[in-house]
């Protein structure tokens, strides 16, 4: 690598212009940091006092009824709703998604792979409100036909989340497998391994960090998903006991109630407190994923 | 890795049978990952197509949104996406330039990278809270296209930054070296050599950003979009309807909407998003095929 010229060459006309432009570039370069901090500050400003003041009560009650007198801000049912939908959806989507990733990366022919990757990318682009639409218009009657009293329930949410995360898992999983050097494959095959033996004994262990990152980002996506779960989970802040029970997630609660909460009131602050929790959950997930990626690069 | 079991190797035919079973299972998983979603999209196309007409796209909704067209929603989405582009393209492209051409490998660059990953991972409803707190209330832009567009812009910034960075980095380092040796400054090199070669790649990212922000609902829910507002916006200070919001409203808020109208609106939204996305993918494939270095 040849280093960039350290000093600008003096050209009287371009120099002030360059100075301004390079300043702008450096400023904008930091924009991502600025906005992450800004998000934290603006959400923290409204919600942190409430969160710190009520954290004990929030984590010990299942009763979320912020408009009652006196109001209750129990989080457990909402946390359970989020965990329920995310957990159920991942049980389905992780095995299928990673299996599909293996197929795309190792077994599919070149043409099929190119084609399927485009399909997966397009499916990943479908907006979440459309997935909500699908849950309400298509899965809802299907689930009722299958015996659910109400089609809008935790199971519907889990199915929608699974369908949404599958494309992400497939493409990230495929990336992780592709990142394994070709020589690993050649060595395994040269030792007489069949393709599956090569995948099982060599590729999967070698790419496990990348696959873990794929799953983590899938979790992050599911936890933060808002519109689809708002529309399809039935919106009952109760701890679910069966597949057909309606649930409510953290995200859906904010989306549903922010419009009617009085600005600056307790309810409003409570919703921002939920936002802080969500922000931190996804922040932690992303940090772990980032560490895993870095460790993979170094090791 | 345990090696104990490898001392005995199973007969070849067993291994080959297992191989073909696994291959079929993996193919089935792939089908399971793609086919249901594809079938659902096909279903929306079939059910929504009868609703589409010129009038549907260019008329106002009437009788409490249960009839008529979706023109204000389409126009509103254009406004919102436009504002978000005006913000995120300049900032994102310059940020991508910083990361690719100026930042190097230091600690600061690592932090920026980490911030981008996190910004991309922040849930959309948290972006909505931020938009409400920062743009609507603090900067006092009110519930307006400006607030909604800026919220979308912040949210999609990582898309533009990462694609710009990748596009710039795909320009060979030799191009820069050659230019520096001719006495050009860093910025002259970027402006005259690197940027023109990276432009199509940057464009891909911009198109993806359009597709993404056209479909987002949660961030504009409290910052700029209205359920029902049968007039076209005239400035960025107005509220507006939006396509994504309209789908949400028709399905969950408004009673007695015909199936055809719901599916038609959803189809228009899916159509817009997938059209832009296919365009970006096509452009990328074209670029890869015609790469000169």
| CA B19 to each of CA A84, A112, A242, B14: distance values in angstroms, whole numbers, following the listed order | 36, 20, 38, 8
- A178 CA to chain B: closest CA distance, Å? 17
Confidence of residue A299 (pLDDT cuts 50, 70, 90): very low
Inter-residue contact B65 to B248 (CB < 8 Å): no
Asked if B168 is an interface residue toward chain A (Cβ–Cβ < 8 A), one would say: no
Domains of chain B: 73-243 (1.10.3720.10)
d(CA A279, CA B2): 41
Asked if B212 is an interface residue toward chain A (Cβ–Cβ < 8 A), one would say: yes
Q: What is the pLDDT of residue A12?
A: 52
Residue among B26, B158, B248 whose CB faces A32 most closely: B158
Q: What percent of chain A has pLDDT over 70?
A: 94
Say if residue B159's pLDDT is above 70: yes
Give the residue on B whose Cα is nearest the Cα of A8: B185
Confidence of residue B125 (pLDDT cuts 50, 70, 90): very high
| CA B133 to each of CA A38, A57, A178, B12, B142: distance values in angstroms, whole numbers, following the listed order | 10, 25, 42, 66, 10
Q: What is the pLDDT of residue A60?
A: 80
Q: What is the pLDDT of residue B231?
A: 77
Least confident of A12-16, A55-59, A287-291, B30-34: A12-16
Q: What is the pLDDT of residue B58?
A: 81
Could you tell me how far CA A223 lies from the centroid of its own chain?
A: 6
Q: What is the pLDDT of residue A4?
A: 67
Instruction: Encode pLDDT of B136-149 as tens digits.
Output: 989 988 889 999 99
Asked if B139 is an interface residue toward chain A (Cβ–Cβ < 8 A), one would say: no
Mean pLDDT calculated for residue range A194-205: 92
Mean pLDDT calculated for residue range B249-260: 83
Q: What is the pLDDT of residue B110?
A: 87
Residue-range domain boundaries for chain A: 64-298
**Which of the pair, B104 or A166, is modelled with greater confidence?**
A166
**Phi, psi (5° rounding) for residue A72?**
-120, 135
d(CA A173, CA A166): 10
Q: What is the pLDDT of residue A298?
A: 47
Mean pLDDT calculated for residue range A261-267: 85
**Which of the pair, B59 or B40, is modelled with greater confidence?**
B40
- A26 CA to chain B: closest CA distance, Å? 6
Query: Kindly report the CA angle at A226 between B67 and A48, in degrees rounded to 5?
Result: 130
- The 3-state DSSP class for residue B66 equals coil
Contact: A127, B273; criterion CB under 8 Å: yes
Q: What is the pLDDT of residue A10?
A: 53
Q: What percent of chain B has pLDDT over 70?
A: 96
Mean pLDDT calculated for residue range B179-192: 86
Residue among B29, B111, B215 whose CB faces A129 most closely: B215
Asked if B106 is an interface residue toward chain A (Cβ–Cβ < 8 A), one would say: no
Q: What is the pLDDT of residue B91?
A: 94
Reported ipTM: the value is: 0.88
d(CA B101, CA B197): 14
Instruction: Encode pLDDT of A131-151 as tens digits.
Output: 999 999 988 888 888 877 777
Say if residue B187's pLDDT is above 70: yes
Long-range contacts of residues B26-32, Cβ cutoff 8 Å, at least 24 apart: B26/A99, B26/A100, B26/A102, B26/A103, B26/A107, B27/A103, B27/A107, B29/A95, B29/A96, B29/A99, B29/A100, B29/A103, B30/A99, B30/A100, B30/A103, B30/A104, B30/A108, B30/A116, B30/A170, B32/A96, B32/A100
Total CB pairs under 8 A between chain A and B: 292
Instruction: Encode pLDDT of A36-95 as tens digits.
Output: 999 999 999 888 888 888 888 788 888 888 888 788 888 888 899 999 999 999 999 999
Say if residue B152's pLDDT is above 60: yes
Mean pLDDT calculated for residue range B34-38: 89
**Mean pLDDT for chain B?**
87
Interface with A, mutate which of B4, B51, B111, B126 (most A CBs under 10 A): B126
Contact: B117, A290; criterion CB under 8 Å: yes
**Which of the pair, B105 or A82, is modelled with greater confidence?**
A82
Predicted TM-score (pTM) of the model is 0.88
**Which of the pair, A299 or A133, is modelled with greater confidence?**
A133
Q: What is the pLDDT of residue A107?
A: 92
Instruction: Encode pLDDT of A4-23 as tens digits.
Output: 665 555 555 557 888 888 88
Q: What is the pLDDT of residue A7?
A: 55
Q: What is the pLDDT of residue A11?
A: 55
Instruction: Encode pLDDT of B255-291 as tens digits.
Output: 778 888 889 999 999 999 999 999 999 988 888 887 7
Say if residue B169's pLDDT is above 50: yes
Confidence of residue B1 (pLDDT cuts 50, 70, 90): very low
The CATH superfamily assigned to A64-298 is MetI-like (1.10.3720.10)
């Amino acid at each position: 690598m040849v280093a960039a010229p350290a000093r600008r060459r003096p050209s009287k006309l371009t120099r002030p212009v360059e100075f301004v432009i390079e300043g702008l570039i450096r400023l904008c370069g930091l924009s991502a940091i600025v906005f992450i901090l800004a998000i934290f500050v603006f959400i923290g400003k409204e919600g942190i006092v409430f969160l710190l003041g009520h954290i004990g009560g929030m984590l010990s009650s299942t009763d979320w009824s912020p408009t009652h007198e006196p109001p209750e801000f129990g989080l457990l049912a909402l946390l359970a709703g989020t965990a329920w939908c995310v957990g159920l959806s991942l049980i389905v989507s992780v095995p299928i998604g990673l299996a599909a990733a293996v197929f795309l990366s190792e077994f599919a022919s070149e043409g099929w792979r190119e084609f399927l990757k485009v399909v997966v990318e397009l499916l990943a682009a479908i907006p979440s409100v459309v997935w909500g639409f699908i849950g309400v218009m298509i899965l809802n009657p299907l689930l009722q036909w299958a015996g659910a009293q109400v089609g809008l329930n935790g199971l519907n949410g889990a199915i929608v989340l699974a369908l949404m995360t599958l494309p992400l898992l497939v493409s990230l999983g495929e990336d992780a497998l592709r990142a394994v050097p070709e020589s690993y494959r050649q060595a395994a095959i040269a030792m007489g391994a069949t393709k599956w033996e090569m995948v099982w004994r060599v590729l999967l262990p070698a790419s496990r960090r990348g696959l873990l990152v794929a799953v983590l980002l899938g979790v992050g996506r599911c936890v933060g998903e808002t519109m689809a779960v708002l529309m399809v989970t039935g919106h009952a802040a109760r701890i679910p006991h069966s597949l057909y029970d309606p649930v409510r997630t953290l995200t859906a609660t904010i989306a549903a109630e922010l419009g009617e909460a009085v600005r600056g009131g307790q309810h409003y602050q409570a919703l921002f407190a939920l936002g802080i929790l969500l922000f931190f959950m996804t922040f932690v997930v992303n940090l772990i994923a980032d560490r895993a990626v870095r460790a993979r690069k170094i090791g | 890795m345990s090696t104990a079991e490898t001392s005995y190797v199973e007969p070849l035919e067993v291994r080959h049978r297992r191989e073909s079973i696994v291959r079929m299972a993996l193919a089935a998983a792939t089908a399971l990952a793609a086919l249901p979603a594809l079938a659902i999209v096909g279903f929306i196309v079939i059910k929504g197509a009868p609703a589409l007409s010129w009038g549907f796209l260019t008329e106002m909704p009437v009788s409490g949104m249960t009839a008529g067209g979706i023109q204000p929603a389409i126009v509103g989405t254009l406004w919102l996406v436009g504002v978000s582009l005006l913000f995120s393209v300049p900032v994102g492209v310059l940020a991508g330039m910083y990361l690719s051409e100026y930042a190097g490998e230091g600690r600061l660059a690592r932090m920026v990278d980490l911030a981008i990953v996190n910004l991309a991972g922040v849930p959309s409803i948290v972006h909505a809270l931020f938009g409400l707190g920062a743009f609507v209330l603090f900067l006092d832009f009110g519930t307006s296209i400006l607030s909604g567009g800026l919220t979308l812009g912040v949210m999609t910034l990582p898309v533009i930054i990462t694609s710009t960075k990748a596009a710039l980095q795909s320009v060979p380092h030799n191009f820069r070296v050659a230019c520096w040796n001719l006495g050009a400054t860093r910025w002259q090199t970027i402006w005259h050599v690197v940027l023109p070669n990276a432009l199509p790649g940057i464009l891909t990212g911009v198109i993806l950003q359009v597709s993404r922000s056209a479909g987002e609902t949660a961030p504009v829910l409290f910052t700029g979009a209205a359920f029902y507002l049968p007039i076209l916006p005239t400035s960025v200070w107005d509220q507006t309807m939006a396509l994504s919001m309209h789908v949400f409203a028709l399905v969950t808020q408004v009673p007695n909407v015909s199936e055809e109208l719901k599916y038609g609106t959803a189809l228009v939204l899916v159509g817009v998003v997938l059209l832009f996305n296919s365009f970006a993918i096509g452009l990328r494939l074209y670029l890869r095929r015609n790469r000169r270095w």
